[in-house]
Structure 1
Amino acid sequence: MTFTFSLDDVAFLSSSDGAEALSRASAMTLTDSSLLKDLPELRTRYGPHEAALVETVRCRRRAVGKLAAPDSLLLSDTALQQATPTAVAAHRAADLAARHPGAVVHDVTCSIGAELMSLADADGVAGVIGSDLDEVRLAMASHNLTGRGGVQLMRADALSPASTADVVIADPGRRNARGRTFRLDDLDPPLLELLSVYAGRPLVVKCSPGLDYQMLRDRFGIDCRVQVTSLDGGVREACLWTEADDLPQRRATVLRTADGVVRAQELTSDDPDDVDDPGVDEWIVDPDGAVVRAGLVRHYGHRHGLRQLDPQIAYLTGPTVPAGERGFRVIEKVGVTEKTLRGALAAHDCGSLEILVRGLDVDPDRLRRRLKLKGSTPLALILTRIGRTGVGFLCEPAVRAPFSSS
């Protein structure tokens, strides 16, 4: 059951006594199995805020790697799930500052302030406003923004414009009582209402990576520029930009962390997309999910000297693997029946197998169990189709090409 913070909890956690309590709680185990032992001590010292302490410490631990300086933040489980990773928010803030120098930016669904922190830190953003209907999250945001000047917080409905800011940012909630939702009218606030309310103003809306942005154009006539962003291989969001005629129709922003540094690569629908005829080369590359979801596979292939295995399939192939990307060196081409696969894998003494599938109705986990691997060699299997024919490629384990030192 999810714990619900009160304003009293936030006030306590933000105080010097709360900071001391959090320091003491952070030294405790606070796992599900240890709570029966840990809670009585916290209740004796800090009741009635013991549950808030436990929730805060556990959320901070889960936020490591997602949010910057998580040990200083106040956040809830739901707010943490919804928060934009700092690397993504920082890249967007720099993008906004470059496109709208000297702008005031208003996050109308600011929650605990994850986006606001990056906006406040960005060079070129003149002012930052955050608003939300949830008073508890606003109180958390106020704490989280400590030390960052020039940020104004207010309680306001995202569908009732409360500022004349140059740029508006919104992140509609994608969860309801039934769990995660992908219906446009189930978002909170509803996406189409949000776009209508801020029509004529530069608006940036963070949406689910699975958003059917083409449907927005075809069915509703909404002219948005789309940016799909991934971080370290996971697609994080599809972002809609309005009043942005200078931007390409589609962008894929690929963020990768290497040696503590976040590197960005961007592809757009304005880039060239001519590639050589389909075929099979030494390496097979599975493009980043942001590239695939933005429909920029051929553009990616052109940039890196790759071609497709099949014009309708997102796998690419070539003589090398692009810097920072995963590639699979092909050992042999095989059939896709279980009998054929079992024989090929046994011949290569396969004991563990990574399976990738595109274009075929195959459950990788179920197939792996049915193959009954008994060897000792790790391999990879790529299952796809060329034309209408299913085909497999038995490969060496995936390798990631290093970034160049330049």
Structure 2
Amino acid sequence: MGYAFDVHDVAHLSARPEELTEVDGYSLTPASLVSDIGRIRATFGDRTAALVETVTLRRRARVKLPFASSWLFTDDALQQSTTELVSRHRAERLRGRRVHDVTCSIGTELHILRDTAEMVVGSDLDPVRLVMAQHNVPGVAVLRADALTPTTRDTVVVADPGRRAGGRRRHDPAALEPPLPALLDVYAGRDLVVKCAPGLDVDSLDLDARGVRAEVEVVSLDGGVREACLWFGGVADASVRRRATVLRSDGTQWTLTDTEPDDIDEDREPGRYIVDPDGAVVRAGLVRHYAARHRLWQLDPRIAHLTGDALPADTTGFEIVERLPFTEKILRKRLAEWDCGSLEILVRGIDVDPAVLRPRLDLRGSRPMSLVITRIGRTAAAFVCGPRTSGAQPDQRNE
């Protein structure tokens, strides 16, 4: 758990940025931390903890929030804050709208939204995070208000219910802050956007019983799934129930929705390659749609691994070398014969821990390879493959 800031800490840090600049000159590494803090304490006394925590959080934020070099944070707020590219994608969907972020926290979304929205306002119940937001995003109106008490009209409501307490993640929608079911009730009929953890069980919200239709967008960045975003009302695409959006740091992106066909060939033998779809596609339940788009098929209808004779553009996959029954003895023997020295292991549908399996295969060769372990029907299968390889790059920045 990080340092517990109060409003007096925030006021002082805002007024004396030179103190943070001086503390930032210290390494604050595990090896130097004790001696560094001793020197800092000799100069700044009881302000040391707040200064060191702020400098440490700013350093952690450099990759995730590169614009926030002079920001103030709490540890929980930084952990839950959305990576810049993901926030910008959402802000583009809200371009030209009047937006109220009812859980504005330290102001990350406000900073991004003010570039695209006609008007943006933020609110939160936490007084410390509010004064941090005022420091971080000057010129944007923020007010103290309960997210479950509507305070603006004719705005798109954006909410990011708290998923962390004391550094620990909450998974139950009803245990979020504010509770997600209550949020949906309060803003029923409003244009609403709710950021959620990527593992959210949308079915548990029982939206049909509420008479509510939502577009569920799962977003990944550079192969890592970052969030599930629920879109309601006029900001949702009325024809879409599920969307996967795949973002890259180089600015390329593509999207896939359930409006596309999902008819694929059944009961075919594996092709030349195995393709592990982007996590956003898998979490959005669009594996068959992705397969149909790229003329792939499934190794098994219940497993997300796909196969085909060519790799889709901007995707990685594995060229099959050999299919084997899944037994450690056979795998150890064949991998040795293939001169395998390093091995990427992918597992779906089988209870196998790659970190436990890898040393037991006793790899002593020089060749990098891959191993895909999966279930086909009722049988465990192992595909020995070449190293991960990339498909052709797309010609356009957006698909």
Shift in Å at residue 315 of structure 1? 1.0
- Equivalence for 1:129: 121
Structure 2 partner of 1:397: 387
Residue from 230, 246, 250 that aligns with 2:220: 230
Match of 1:114 among 95, 108, 124: 108
Whole-Å separation in 2 of the counterparts to 1:143 and 1:386: 56
Normalising by structure 1, we get a TM-score of 0.92
Q: 2:108 & 2:389 partners in 1: Cα distance?
A: 34
DSSP 3-state at the match of 2:142 = strand
Instruction: Give the letter aligned to residue 175 of structure 2.
Output: D
Q: CA deviation at 1:131?
A: 0.6
Of the structure 1 ranges 44-53 and 212-221, higher mean CA displacement relative to structure 2 is found in 212-221
Residue 335 of structure 2 is aligned with which of 313, 337, 345?
345
Residues 6 and 402 of structure 1: is their aligned pair in 2 closer, same or farther, counting only changes over 3 Å? farther
1:13 corresponding residue in structure 2: 13
After TM superposition, the structure 1 = structure 2 runs for residues 156-171 of structure 1, keeping only pairs within 5 Å, are 156-171=145-160
| Cα gap change, 1:402 to 1:58, in 2 (>3 Å) | farther
Q: Which moved more, 1:374-383 or 1:174-183?
A: 174-183
Which residue of 1 is the match for residue 352 of structure 2? 362
What SS does the corresponding residue of 1:121 show, helix, strand or coil?
Answer: coil
Q: Which amino acid aligns with 1:340?
A: I
Instruction: Show the counterpart of 2:378.
Output: 388
**Corresponding residue for residue 57 of structure 1:** 55
Task: Please list, as runs of the form range in 1=range in 2, the aligned pairs for 1:3-402 lying within 5 A after superposition.
Answer: 3-15=3-15, 18-97=16-95, 101=96, 103-122=97-116, 125-146=117-138, 149=139, 151-176=140-165, 179-217=168-206, 220-221=209-210, 222-243=212-233, 244=236, 246-258=238-250, 262-277=251-266, 278-401=268-391
Note the alpha carbon deviations across 1:309-366, whole angstroms, 9 max, x for none.
Answer: 2222111122322232221111111110111111111111212211101111111111
Q: Deviations over 1:141-184 (max 9, x none)?
A: 111113xx4x2100111111111142001111112469222112
Q: Please tell me whether the aligned partners of residues 107 and 133 of structure 2 are also in contact (alpha carbons under 8 angstroms).
A: yes
Distance of aligned partners of 1:367 and 1:296 in 2 relative to their CA distance in 1, 3 Å threshold: same
1:72, 1:247 → 2: CA distance? 42
Counterparts of 2:122 and 2:208, CA distance in 1:
32
Unaligned runs of 5+ in 2: none
In 2, the alpha carbon distance for the partners of 1:329 and 1:387 equals 22
5+ unaligned residues in a row in structure 1: which ranges?
none
Deviation for aligned residue 1:3: 0.7
| 1:401 CA drift (Å) | 3.5
Q: Please report how far the alpha carbon of residue 46 of structure 1 lies from its aligned counterpart in structure 2 after TM superposition.
A: 2.9
Partner of 2:2: 2
SS at match of 1:273: coil
Q: CA RMSD in A?
A: 1.8
The SS at the match of 1:72 is coil
* Rounded Cα–Cα distance in structure 1 between residues aligned with 2:304 and 2:115: 37
365-374 or 233-242: which moved more? 365-374
What amino acid maps onto 1:212 in structure 2? D
| Structure 1 Cα separation of the partners of residues 73 and 239 of structure 2 | 34
Instruction: Name the CA distance, whole Å, in 2 between partners of 1:174 and 1:375.
Output: 45
Amino acid at match of 1:392: A
Check the 8 A contact 2:123/2:145 in 1, yes or no: yes
Shift in alpha-carbon separation, 1:286–1:241, aligned structure 2, 3 A:
same
Offset, 1:94:
0.2
**2:328 corresponds to which letter in structure 1?**
E
Displacement of 1:33: 2.8
How far 1:279 moved relative to its partner? 3.0
**TM-score of the pair, normalised by structure 2:** 0.93
Query: Matches of 1:195 and 1:256 in 2, distance apart?
Result: 31
Give the C-alpha shift of residue 45 in structure 1: 2.8
Task: Report SS of the residue matched to 1:257.
Answer: coil
Equivalent AA in structure 2 for residue 269 of structure 1 = D
* SS of residue in 1 equivalent to 2:188: coil
Give the letter aligned to residue 290 of structure 2: Y
Cα distance in 2 for partners of 1:334, 1:145 equals: 58
DSSP 3-state at the match of 1:70: coil
Matched residue of 1:71: which SS? coil
CA distances 1:200-240 after superposition (whole Å, capped 9, x unpaired): 10111111111111332378444322111111111111111
Give the C-alpha shift of residue 36 in structure 1: 1.6
SS of the aligned residue for 2:355 comes to: helix
Give yes or no for contact 1:268–1:296 (8 Å, CA) kept in 2.
yes
